[in-house]
Structure 1
């Protein structure tokens, strides 16, 4: 027996849907959201080597990070429970938030097939080697803006250099300028944590200064989970992964949604930065850019 449950939108999501003139479409799409894990979803997550995760820590800060392992490190235990045999590093801002009772946003993404799935829910158990989550929202997203990459294996983590700061340095700015992919974590008081994917051509993240980023919102599935959360809670965490060099960059701060008619952008104020050289031991070979990418306009 499947425990199908239709999940409603919260007020922040509805507000963005209405301003975007997509409320009817969003209402129709909401039928795909369920709280159980269908067989196709279980098979999908169990072959992944990485999950992107997001949560709110004890101080109210929202961060995005990842966990990873050989295929099979994620298991669908039953119709509403996944078991993950991996944890963030102890130095990761998410580590202290990995506690039973906390909400966790999860994104499983398969670059080679341009498929992705969200599995948001409640952490029910944490142990020395991993954690369990009871799912509250399970649904797939469209393939838009996902660039194809082929997983080429794990690298041995030899030298890890962690740097913390409150504004972006030249090297971090350059990584963001060249990025074609990143991830956003947000949190809503009632709906919990969420983490989403963003993709575009290099340069699609506009760097105003070392403390300010602007991210134009591309047309997606009309749900506006991320923007809706930001309307009610400005806390946001970004995760940039260097798929070739093996580095990662986590950025926390506050964001606002700015409008020009029905067009919208995220204005992000940087507060905390954690840069880890050599902290991402997974390697992918680039395939091709998504055919949906809008051109990058001159932002000077």
Structure 2
């Protein structure tokens, strides 16, 4: 028999309370961020314990394709993913830290936490409230979403920060540690140290703007565009570099505009077969990678499609060319 009892309206707060209770019962690690003070709280039964000193917390966005760069948030809304710094080695550009995802559909929620040792007013309030105070926190738990990705997300990119200021990182390893947290090892996706800053004193005044513009396009595309696009920009920049360098070497009045393959042969003729071999090899690498991104050429010659690692190789080859012609600083 059909029921004619009125249906109870959906109560988001009641649903969220039940959701929290179920998840907390599962014993997940929890992270809380106080939007008023920027302080961080952690705990297994809830984000109740203040973390001191306060670690750096960044918004995190998983990048599975160039379009995902548009999803990087413009401000901190308490949603999405969050990354807590653990360590960073500037030499290897490797960073380690824990990755969290949003807990429930509410951006900010009242949470009873232990008094923070850095806030005197918390200590006074907690004295009359069982040692705890109420805070408005954005609550997170370990990023199980990443664990569901293929290879636990290893090989994908992670953007840290906001739209107006973010960095790109490659996920090298994903681990589940004893606390249940998801620990990721990242490597910086940056041309810093790869593409040297140009030494303007080594370049003709009329050649500098064109060379700099070509390199700027490389830097702007690196790790952000498809591999073929990165290789295309590297090849264009290589042509600009070697043509303007050969103009200087041969004391020509104007640069000659020709293909990269022709410039490789020109360097061989200028210096001899046994000289400038490394320079020619770096240029040849960039030149050989270029057709692999063209479907017709790839099919015609049974070439392997280029990937992110090939694009990175092209970047390093271009950086080598800059250093080899002594135009970097």
- Normalising by the residue count of structure 1, what TM-score does the alignment of the two structures yield? 0.25
Larger % of strand: which?
A: 1
Larger % of helix: which?
A: 2
- Normalising by the residue count of structure 2, what TM-score does the alignment of the two structures yield? 0.23
Larger of the two Rg values belongs to structure: 2
